[in-house]
Amino acid sequence: QSPSHTGAITEAFRVSDGAVRSAHPTHAMGLWGEGAEEIAAGHANTCGLDAESPYHLAAQRPGAGSLLIGVDSRRNSLVHVCEAILGLPYVDEAYWNDRRYSYDVIHLDSRVEKRENKRAPGCAKCFDRVDRELERAGRLRRVSFGAAPSLLLRPDDIMEAVQALIATRADAILCDEAQCGFCPGARRSRRKHGMV
């Protein structure tokens, strides 16, 4: 029942008739329509943006798309899902500021459960490189949503763009900022596994 922390559109969606919210404590997803409850089920027991998370399962539905309203792929959670599906080693080994964090999950029966975050979505500062790759491949669709310039992307195209970037350079979607709390650790992980 807690409100969305990602804006008015997601909050309006959350409270709309028929909307279903997954029970993940840090990366809940709102769904609506056929199969929504099935897709949301089990999210509490997975990593938030992992393979087999609702983000991945919804993206696999026929005709699925990713509509980025007024933003680019630096706000596209599917890129993190691609990192997990591709098995990039830093997904399991890098953490913000080199430390895992834990949080309390408060269940409906008021029971409090302490959990450790096994995977933390990394830095997204350079995920706009995915958009440039999609544009280069002729697969970036610019649309309008109301007055907001938006991007409509196919999940399969996003995966192909991430794969193309990673094939060229393993750290292609990591940022170059020395002060970043995530990317230097991700690069160490990459080097440890011999990825160039």
Which pLDDT tens digits describe the chain residue by residue (196 residues)? 889 988 898 999 999 999 999 988 889 999 999 999 999 998 988 888 998 999 999 999 999 999 999 999 999 999 999 999 999 999 988 889 888 888 888 888 999 998 887 777 899 999 999 999 999 999 999 999 999 999 999 999 999 999 999 999 989 999 999 999 999 999 999 888 887 6
Instruction: Look at residue 170 in the predicted model and tell me its pLDDT.
Output: 87
Tokens of 139: 């697969």
* Cα gap 33→18, rounded to integer Å: 7
3-class DSSP assignment, residue 125: coil
CA distances to 20, 48, 62, 77 from 40, rounded to whole Å, are 7, 11, 17, 16
Measure CA of the first residue to CA of the last residue in the chain; give whole Å.
45
CB 72 within 8 Å of CB 60: no
Q: Are strands 66-69 and 148-153 parallel, antiparallel or unpaired?
A: antiparallel
pTM, 2 dp? 0.91
Helix, strand, coil shares, percent, the chain, to 5 = 35, 15, 50
CB 129 within 8 Å of CB 37: no
CB 75 within 8 Å of CB 121: no
Classify burial at 29, counting beta carbons within 10 Å of its beta carbon; exposed 0-12, middle 13-18, buried 19 or more: buried
Instruction: Look at residue 118 in the predicted model and tell me its pLDDT.
Output: 74
Angle between helices 155-168 and 77-85 (to 10 degrees): 60
How many secondary structure helices (H) and strands (E) does the chain include? 8, 7
